[in-house]
Amino acid sequence: MNNIFDLNEYKFSKEENYLFDANVWLNVFAPFTFETKKVHDIYSKMFRDILESNCNIYTTNIIVSEVVNRISQNQYKLCRNKYFEKGDPTLGNFDHKTFRETDFYKDEIAYDISNQIQNIASYSKLCDVSTGNNDFLYDVAEIFEKCTLDFNDIIYLKTCEENSLALITHDRDFKDCEIKIITANKAMLESN
């Protein structure tokens, strides 16, 4: 299958439309939440190249939700690890929901997340799949039985198919899909 392309060698074209996976947005706008600085630098350069080429970038509501949840979860884990010792009995009730109710979350983290959502909105167009009836869910269920993608990834696959989008991702789960994939993930490129 020759549908996986090396992001480092790819020539972006304004004739092509791109769907950024959540891991790409995280690497571009919130690198502290995801991969190494090297991976961040690769996807940041790609982002600049796409903007300079006047390409269309798309996202979905689910992708934005994944970005929000990842940032929130990572901040919770950082806070939990920073302020509580392992075995601290007060930690027992300090879960993610409790964290979201703190003033720190409301004043700092929610503000940062809001900025990330606005960044994504300013550089992309919203593009979700048409789900006019339950046939869509039957299609998703059928795909789910045959592959190792999670539910959200199947939605991205269907979005790309329906809208002729190339997927830019660092997630190797897409390695066996037939849509066009652009990635810097070495394991994914080597399996192609």
Look up the CATH number of the domain holding residue 156: 3.40.50.1010
Domain count along the chain: 1
One-letter amino acid for residue 46 of the chain: M
Neighbour tally for 105: CB within 10 Å: 19
20 and 168 Cβ atoms separated by less than 8 Å = yes
Q: Is 79 helix (H, G, I), strand (E, B) or coil?
A: helix
- Percentage with pLDDT > 90 across the chain: 44
Whose tokens are 């092509």? That residue is 16
For 81, half-sphere exposure in the C-beta direction (CA atoms, 13 angstrom radius) is: 6
Q: pTM of the prediction?
A: 0.86
86 pLDDT band, cuts 50/70/90, is low
Give the domain range for residue 146: 4-190
Going by C-beta distance under 8 Å and a sequence separation of 6 or more, which residues neighbour residue 4?
175, 181, 182, 183, 188, 189, 191, 192
Bridge partners (DSSP) listed for residue 166: 18
Sign of CA dihedral 72, 33, 178, 166: positive
pLDDT score of 139: 78
Looking from the CA of 76 toward its CB, the CA atoms found within 13 Å total 16
pLDDT at site 158: 87
pLDDT at 112 over 70: yes
Q: What's the pLDDT score for residue 77?
A: 84
73 pLDDT higher than 80: yes
- Backbone phi and psi for residue 56, each to the nearest 5 degrees, phi listed first: -90, 125
φ/ψ bin of 54: left (φ > 0), alpha (ψ from -120 to 50), beta (otherwise): left
Distance CA 167, CA 172 (A): 12
Separation CA 146–CA 148 (nearest Å)? 7
